A and B are shown apart, each in its own frame.
Chain A
């Protein structure tokens, strides 16, 4: 396979990575919360897509708006009753880590209980296509995933720029004290941000489910990728998370030119570490504030 092929595939896959990472990036950017269960919410969304397909035969492209809506609500509820109460205090940073780890454990194992450990792959005839462009093979589902990511990114940025709520979220993310002076209700804003963050990752999960097997422990692999993407893009920057995700996807793919695919993730971890050690604020993040 040529380098170009790897780059293209990496780009397409990176788009979906960008999508799932943006949710984590939004949550961290606004609230400084590290959600270790983000990957597991993604897994849940993958199951949701799966069930929509296996049951009422609604394919992921059509079910995604419903999945998004449901998961935003789910995120708001989780924030209101679980994450919100432990977030905020500097002393409770451990509490927040533990809480999200616990939530992740519960999600993984409830799904294990309900569906067993064997991963299932959806087969959607309508989506099984691919085509060649100048010697480079472009896989249908992955292309669709990339387009979904691009569309979502556009809508998200429009939302953050041009709606009242979006501006409130950006204000709270940049300077919560000044945001309060504007009359912004921080608690509500945080809850909605968390919900949207979960919703974004859910869309990514729906996109992934088109070509990735769906299983209870799938989230774990992607958690690391998400963290690497967010750190690379810069903690605090949603657009950074998108860029980071794409770069991670490309790096992961291109590394296969010279090293076996089993080592692909080492490069991801290496980037993660190097960024943290050399430039902790990543590409677009704010200068490190005391957390």
Chain B
């Protein structure tokens, strides 16, 4: 297991967002986290990357990391591509990618990672000098993922990459994730609202509801599970 979480709890202003959650991810796996909004999926990613405080045990590569500050977790290779993309709008694509390679281990491999990025996202190669704020939503999302890839991630946390994107553009983003899988063996945790698209990318999935896991299993099995839809809408 590259990532092992036991009994995680996160609260904001006394309101619990995650309440006793345990998951485990093996190296090289692609795992999906789905569930209705407000369920705690983003909070879970933030707890893993260290951007929010949490209680409970988080083990990465055998080492406990729950007391490590966020920037040190990045140095370990835990790369969080945040919700809403959060690219540095005033900087060019090139500069954003450079920042992606800030991690010490990634710097010597900058050119190699850049080539990979342009292979996966050719549209970015043509626009290297453009400020990120001028990109469309889909292009920014690709930039955000590319930026994450620049750091040679060992564990890639993707938070709702299709949010706010039209179905066609979201499809492009998911396609690039597929191509990524062909090239690299990074472990990925994918948070998504679009459940089926997420399942297509991933081997296993967890359904998160009200801060807890309500369903888990291989994606193939979950697709057949009738209780899945009710987690979202109730019927």
Contacts and interface: CB of A to CB of B under 8 A. Distances in A.
Interface of A: 164, 167-168, 170-171, 174-175, 177-178, 180-186
B99 A182 contact: yes
Contacts of B82: 177-178, 181
A218 to B, nearest CB: 35
Contact of A183 (B71, B81, B91, B98): B71
B71 A167 contact: no
Contacts of A180: 51, 70-71, 74
Interface residues of B, number: 26
A13 B62 CA distance: 61
A290 B212 CA distance: 33
A171 B102 CA distance: 11
Given A168-B102, A171-B99, A186-B71, A181 B88 contact: no
Interface in B65-106: 69-71, 74-75, 79-82, 86-91, 95, 98-100, 102-103
B95 A181 contact: no
B89 A174 contact: yes
Given A164-B102, A167-B98, A183 B88 contact: no
B54 interface: no
Contacts of B87: 178
A186 to B, nearest CB: 7
B51 A177 contact: yes
A174 B100 CA distance: 15
Nearest to A174: B88
B102 A183 contact: yes
B151 interface: yes
Contacts of B80: 181
A178 B51 contact: no
